Amino acid sequence: MPVISAPHEFNVDDLYIDLQQVVGRPLYLKCEGFNFAGSIKLKAAAEMIDAAERSGLLTSRTTLVESSSGNLGVALSMIAASRGYRFVCVTDIRCNRVAVRLMESYGAVVHVVTKPGADGGFLGARLEHVRDLCVRDDRNIWLNQYANPGNWGAHYRTTGPEIIKQFPDVEVLFVGAGTTGTLMGCARYFRDEGLPVEVVAVDAVGSVTFGGPIARRLIPGLGTSTRPEIFDRSYVDDVVHVEEPDSIAMCQVLAAHGFLLGGSTGTVLAGALSWLDAHEKSRSGTAVLISPDLGERYLDSIYDDNWLRANYTDDLVAVGSTDERRGA
């Protein structure tokens, strides 16, 4: 029985869903949402704060500042509360209300950016706001998940080895590309260990990370409007871009089988199936996907019929509607 004294000390690292019965392929979904922060971002948050403490950057005067679409902000809020730090999260209007309330419940201050930056994306506007906060008060310390090696280092040390421990014969790993911390950490680990694992990034259409044109994105977690500094394309074997309606439809398929997971999970699964079909990979090969979080934080968006109607087509609403899933 685990006994902990701090919330970040608990994380389920060996839970996988066999998706054979869901999608007809031997895919294994690594579930990272079972910890007190509710997402894989707990790993990066703990690593970055630990490194900042070791360097002497954090003191009793410090206020942590970070830009986040939701999950990292929740994880940092939780650890900040546990260790006695003040925390300000800069997010934008796409951040779901549950994540905002969670951060505020831990005592964090949340700044919501309402207008996109000059590049048309919200990330640039968020980063500008973070920089302004740090200029105005030298007690504000920006961890900068987009450039911080602790972001990918956490997954180099944990997520990559965890996958190999459970699936030493894994042939393909599908990872969603947001800040690219998980992607870079796993890919670097496999490369350094000489493991023949093909790493396929799954990104959202409208993200600029892999050089595509910027476009509207409503689902937080994957994709960027500013390429992260920690991203190194040379570690990635291939990339798949997924339209948001396909991500949502896949989330609904999973929910229909009793697995309520986050929007990024739907994106990664849709991308994996598309890539496997295109490459005619053997159904007997082992493929692993990473699920960053659970679905409760998306009940007011991708699992809500009114939100779907307001933002997408009627065809998608029909696929994802509550009545359709219940067979009404």
Q: What is the DSSP string of 1-37?
A: ----SSGGG-B--S-EEETHHHHSS-EEEEE---BTT
More confidently predicted of 320 and 35: 35
Q: What is the pLDDT of residue 144?
A: 96
Is the pLDDT score of 131 beyond 70?
Answer: yes
Give the whole-number percent of the chain exceeding pLDDT 90.
81
Q: Of the candidates 148, 143, 133, 156, which has an alpha carbon nearest to the alpha carbon of residue 73? A: 143
What type of residue is 241? Answer: H
| Domain ranges for the chain | 7-31+156-319, 41-142
CA distance 83 to 258: 36
Q: What is the pLDDT of residue 218?
A: 87
Is the pLDDT score of 322 beyond 50?
Answer: no
CA dist 86 to 74, 140, 266, 286, Å? 13, 9, 34, 44
Give the whole-number percent of the chain exceeding pLDDT 70.
94
What's the mean pLDDT in 280-301? Answer: 86
CA distance 87 to 125: 19
Q: Is 87 helix (H, G, I), strand (E, B) or coil?
A: strand
CA distance 48 to 114: 27
Return the bridge partners of 27, or none: 287
Q: Which pTM value belongs to this model?
A: 0.92
CA distance 52 to 86: 14
326 pLDDT tier (thresholds 50, 70, 90): very low
Q: Is 126 helix (H, G, I), strand (E, B) or coil?
A: helix
Q: Is 221 helix (H, G, I), strand (E, B) or coil?
A: coil
324 pLDDT tier (thresholds 50, 70, 90): very low
287 pLDDT tier (thresholds 50, 70, 90): very high
Task: Specify whether domain 7-31+156-319 bears CATH 3.40.50.1100.
Answer: yes
The mean-pLDDT minimum among 30-34, 232-236, 274-278 falls in 274-278
The mean-pLDDT minimum among 200-204, 223-227, 319-323 falls in 319-323
CB 272 within 8 A of CB 287: yes
CA distance 316 to 324: 11
CB 204 within 8 A of CB 213: no
What's the mean pLDDT in 102-118? Answer: 93
13 pLDDT tier (thresholds 50, 70, 90): very high
Q: Of the candidates 78, 119, 124, which has an alpha carbon nearest to the alpha carbon of residue 102? A: 78
Both tokens of 175, joined, read 């990872």
Residues 6+ apart with CB under 8 A from 209: 177, 180, 203, 223, 224, 227, 228, 231
Return the bridge partners of 112, or none: 91
The pLDDT mean for the chain works out to: 92
328 pLDDT tier (thresholds 50, 70, 90): very low
Q: What is the pLDDT of residue 121?
A: 80
Q: In what order do the strands lie in the sheet with 172-176?
A: 16-18, 27-31, 287-291, 172-176, 198-204, 238-242
Strands 109-113 and 86-92: parallel
Domain 41-142 architecture:
3-Layer(aba) Sandwich (3.40)
Q: Please name the residue ranges forming H helices in the chain.
A: 20-23, 41-54, 71-83, 97-105, 122-136, 149-157, 159-166, 181-192, 244-256, 263-279, 305-311, 314-320, 322-326
Same topology, domains 7-31+156-319 and 41-142? Answer is yes
- R_g of the chain, CA atoms, integer Å: 19
What's the mean pLDDT in 27-44? Answer: 97
What's the mean pLDDT in 69-87? Answer: 96
Is the pLDDT score of 282 beyond 70?
Answer: no
What's the mean pLDDT in 56-76? Answer: 94
pLDDT tens readout for residues 155-206: 999 999 999 999 999 999 999 999 999 999 999 999 999 999 999 999 999 9
Is the pLDDT score of 314 beyond 80?
Answer: no
